[in-house]
Every structure is written in C-alpha cells, then in structure tokens.
C-alpha cells in the first residue's frame, strides 16, 4: 500500500543512531568453561606423561643393565665351568630361549659403537660398573646389527649378541599417540563438566524467558535434580515465579474490579449532567470530563486483561489501511503512508490493529507540529532479514533522551509538551506488552528533525 493523504511531510533519515561497540570474543559460558577446563586437564596430562618418561628412565636403565649383566655372567660361567657337551647345550638353550649368542671376538672385527642416547648411555655406564671398565658395548660387529657386549675369560675375548630392542625407548610417534589420547580424554571430560554447569543455566534462562512473557506455569524448573545447589536454585526460582503469578493475578483482579466499579457512578453522573445542568456549555465540558474518565477506565481494562494473542500470517498493508481510515478526513492530521503490499508478518491481526491505532492516537494527541495545530504523521514499513520494521513518527517536539526508556512504563507521563492532553499513561505500556507477546519488539527514539519515532519490529513471513 503506497499512498499519500493530504500534504506529506518531507522524508527524513532513520531516527536511530547506532554506536560502534568494541569487538568481543563471541564465546558463551559453555565454551569458556570447556576451553579453561580442557586446557587445564590437557596440560596436566602432558605434564604427567613427561614426568613419567623422566622418572622411568633411571629404573629402566638399571633393570636392563642388570638383565644383560646376568646373561654375560651366565655365559661366562657356562664357558668356564662346563664340559664341552654341557657347554654346547647351554649355549644352544641361551640362543633359543633368550635370543643370546656367544661368539669369539677377533682383533679384525669391525665394531660400531652404540649410538648416543639417554637410555643407551645409562645402560652402558651401568654395564661397565657391573662387568668392568673394559667392557665393550657395540651396536654392530662386522655389519651385523644387535646389542653386542664384549667380555674376557682368561685372556680370551668373546661377544655376547642379543636383541637391540632391550635399549629401545618409546619413539616420538608413540609419545604423540599417548599425548593425543590424553588430550582427547581431557577434552571429553571438560565437555562433560562444562555441560553439567551449562545445562542448568540454559534451563534457567529458558524459564526466565517464559516468566518474562507472563507464562508462569511453563517457567517451572525441576526440583528433583541431584545437585544440591542447583536444586535449591530451582526451588527458589519456582517460589519466586509462583509469587509473581499471584501478584499478577491480584493486580489484574484489582484493576478489573476497580474499573468495573467506577462505571456505575460514572453512568449516574452522565445521566445527572444531562438532566440537571441547564447550561449547555457547562454540560458539554462536564460530559467531556466523564468521557475522559471512561476512556481511562478502558485503558485500565486493556492493560489488566490477560494476554490472548494468537499470531497468524497477517498482510501488514491491510491492517495499516484499516487503522488509518478513521483519520483520513481529519483536519488535525496530515498522513504519509508507505507500506508495501507484499509485506507479511506473524502477528495477531486484532492485537496488531490495537497497537497501530494506539500509536496513531498517541501521535495525534502529543505529536502536533510546533508551528501549527496539525499532526504530521508518517507510516513506513520495510523488511530487514527475518523481521519487518513498521515505523510511525510525527513532527512534534519529541521527548528528552533521558526519559525515552521510561515511556513504556505504566502510568509514566513525559514532559509538558507531550502531556498537555489528558490520558492514563498506559497507552505505550499496552503497546509494548502486546508487541512482545506477539514475539516482536518496540523501539522508541527521537527523529533527527524533531518528533517521536515508534519502531515496531515484527517477525517476517516470506
């Protein structure tokens, strides 16, 4: 719907001014807790593995040297004290069972020393302590790889050859696998612990959202959870929600009862004015005062009644057209309307009409241009992503920026420029309440060229 009624005011830029905010790391509580606990557990696991590796080195070197020295001593005893048949059988058994061979050592042997390493150096040192300082430890003799130990028996030299794997340490790949496994287990534990903290908070946040919308029953939390602290928080929250529901119910009953009880004396006053006041002018003003009181009572009833919005798909242009129709021939207003026909929103059609009518009436009463007695009103709508912005703004004096956030409080009245007309102070409070129950949001601001801007943000239907 794009139309112009009477003389439209000049278009003006948006009334909202966005202030740049410093960039923040977008991490919620779960990820913050997960990262902190994960880093702590991973660091602890890696530190523990490195400590085990360091502490295990000395005992392992001693044990390995002791085993090799025992084999050398056993081999020496077999060569010295056994007869030829027994010696042969013993050497054969050592070769088959222990993987140990006894070979003569020649001067012409090509010997390759044992490569340097923490474990190899410690084992070599320990062997020379146990077997003598002249003990030879080699990694290859005449091109054959293995762990070669050279020893003497009565000036005869021999080699003991065994598997070099006795000196092998866990390589880098093995340690990396251990570190990765420890890290994965640490992260899994961190996720579990973060979930234990985050899940109750998410449930509490969801319950707060329901209570904020007035759904006190659906906002109840589980009071049978195992964790004592969370159970106490849930019980306290439920008692608070029950008390708020009771207060809300009492407030609703009080306002409704008060409004209902006032109508009877007002009806009598109206009848007495018509029958007892001879002065037509005085009768007119007294009747206007009674109508004003009746209008305030209607506002009380609107604000006090339970919310019953049932959002459906609504053609926004049709609702706006219905709401502005009573004002099209008014000499007090000049209206410019720019609402595309294709825009659809998710809202309750009746409640949305109440919202728009309330905002138009608010502008008619309080948004008159400073230099005239006419309200210049502009209604626009545009889609932005998943929402639709319906803006209604006048060319009045606006309101001080310091009290913008208080305009939607019940019974709050703004400055004199906007309170010259009578009212209950509930109009914008009702608008905010209805819009939020339809899943929308109400934003108020001052226009750059003067006047108040009401921005109704509603879910868009594509």
CATH (domain of 225):
1.10.287.130
Tokens 């109206």 belong to residue: 270
Q: Are 42 and 180 in contact (CB under 8 A)?
A: no
* CA nearest neighbour of 166 among 282, 318, 60, 90: 60
**Are residues 352 and 338 both part of a single domain?**
yes
Tell me if 344 sits within 8 A of 11, measured CB to CB: no
| Residues 33 and 79 grouped into a single domain | yes
Does residue 267 fall inside a structural domain?
Answer: yes
Contact 72, 80 (CB under 8 A): no
Which residue do the tokens 């830029």 mark? 13
- The answer to whether residue 278 sits within a structural domain is yes
Determine phi and psi for 460, rounding to 5 degrees: -90, 145
Residue 130 contacts residue 65 (beta carbons within 8 Å): yes
Q: Which token pair is 30? A: 């779960």
Is 445 found in the same domain as 330?
yes
Q: Which residue, among 303, 86, 446, 110, has the nearest Cα to 77 in the 3D structure?
A: 86
**C-alpha angle 259/262/268, rounded to 5°?**
145
Among 285, 306, 327, which residue terminates a domain? 306
Does residue 4 sit within a domain? no
Residue 416 shares a structural domain with residue 318: yes
In a domain, 206, yes or no: no
Residue 203 lies in a domain: no
Residues 345 and 439 in one domain: yes
* Other Cβ atoms within 10 Å of 457 Cβ, number: 18
DSSP-based three-state secondary structure for 84: helix
Return the CATH number at 122.
Answer: 3.30.450.300
| Whether residue 328 is found in the same domain as residue 454 | yes
Q: Is the domain of 450 the same as that of 321?
A: yes
User: Residues 222, 131: one domain?
Assistant: no
> Using CA atoms, how far apart are residues 247 and 245, in angstroms rounded to an integer?
5
Q: State the total domains in the chain.
A: 3
- Interatomic CA distance for residues 384 and 393, integer angstroms: 19
**What does each of the 462 residues of the chain score in pLDDT, given as a tens digit?**
544 444 444 444 344 433 344 445 556 667 777 788 778 877 887 777 777 766 666 777 788 788 888 878 877 777 777 776 777 777 777 777 777 788 888 888 888 887 776 677 788 888 888 887 778 888 888 888 888 888 877 777 888 888 777 666 555 566 677 778 877 887 888 788 777 778 888 888 888 888 877 777 777 888 888 888 888 988 998 999 888 888 877 877 777 777 767 777 777 777 777 777 777 777 777 877 777 777 667 766 666 665 656 788 999 999 999 999 888 888 888 899 999 998 999 998 888 988 998 899 888 888 888 888 888 899 999 999 999 999 999 988 888 888 888 888 776 666 544 444 455 556 788 888 888 888 899 999 988 888 899 999 999 998
Residue at which a domain ends, from 288, 306, 324 = 306
| Burial group, residue 377, by CB count within 10 angstroms (0-12, 13-18, 19+) | buried
Within-domain flag for 450: yes
Q: Is the pTM of this model over 0.75?
A: no
Q: Are residues 326 and 454 in the same domain?
A: yes
Pair 343, 438 in one domain:
yes
Residue 275 belongs to what domain range?
A: 213-306
């Amino acid at each position: 719907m794009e139309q112009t009624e009477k003389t439209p005011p000049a278009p003006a830029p948006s009334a909202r001014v966005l202030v740049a905010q410093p960039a923040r790391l977008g991490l919620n509580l779960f990820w913050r807790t997960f990262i902190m606990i994960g880093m702590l557990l991973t660091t602890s696991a890696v530190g523990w593995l490195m400590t085990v590796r360091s502490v295990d080195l000395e005992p392992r070197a001693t044990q390995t040297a002791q085993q090799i020295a025992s084999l050398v001593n056993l081999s020496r005893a077999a060569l010295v004290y056994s007869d030829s048949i027994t010696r042969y059988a013993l050497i054969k058994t050592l070769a088959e069972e222990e993987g140990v061979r006894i070979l003569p050592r020649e001067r012409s042997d090509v010997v390759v020393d044992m490569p340097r390493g923490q474990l190899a150096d410690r084992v070599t040192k320990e062997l020379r302590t146990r077997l003598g300082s002249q003990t030879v430890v080699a990694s290859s003799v005449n091109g054959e790889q293995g762990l070669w130990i050279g020893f003497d028996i009565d000036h005869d030299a021999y080699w003991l050859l065994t598997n070099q794997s006795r000196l092998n340490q866990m390589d880098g790949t093995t340690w990396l696998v251990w570190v990765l496994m420890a890290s994965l287990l640490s992260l899994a534990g961190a996720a579990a612990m973060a979930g234990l903290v985050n899940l109750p908070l998410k449930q509490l946040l969801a319950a707060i959202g329901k209570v904020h919308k007035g759904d006190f029953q659906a906002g109840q939390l589980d009071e049978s959870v195992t964790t004592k602290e969370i159970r106490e928080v849930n019980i306290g929250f439920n008692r608070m929600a029950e008390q708020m529901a009771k207060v809300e119910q009492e407030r609703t009953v009080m306002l409704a009862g008060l409004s209902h009880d006032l109508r009877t004396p007002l009806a009598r006053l109206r009848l007495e004015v018509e029958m007892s006041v001879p002065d037509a002018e005085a009768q007119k003003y007294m009747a206007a005062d009674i109508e004003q009181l009746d209008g305030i009572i209607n506002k009380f009833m609107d604000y006090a009644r339970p919310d019953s919005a049932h959002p459906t798909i609504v053609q926004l242009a049709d609702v706006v057209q219905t709401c502005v129709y009573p004002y099209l021939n008014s000499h007090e207003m000049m209206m410019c309307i720019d609402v595309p026909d294709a825009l659809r929103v998710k809202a309750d059609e009746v409640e949305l009409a109440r919202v728009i009518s309330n905002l138009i009436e608010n502008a008619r009463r309080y948004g008159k241009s400073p230099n005239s007695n006419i309200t210049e009103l502009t209604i626009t709508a545009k889609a932005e992503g998943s929402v639709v912005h319906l803006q209604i703004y006048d060319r009045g004096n606006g309101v001080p920026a310091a009290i913008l956030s208080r305009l939607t409080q019940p019974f709050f009245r703004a400055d004199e420029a906007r309170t010259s007309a009578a009212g209950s102070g509930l109009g914008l409070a009702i608008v905010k309440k209805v819009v939020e129950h339809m899943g929308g949001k109400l934003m108020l601001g001052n226009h750059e060229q003067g006047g108040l801007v009401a921005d109704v943000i509603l879910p868009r239907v594509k």
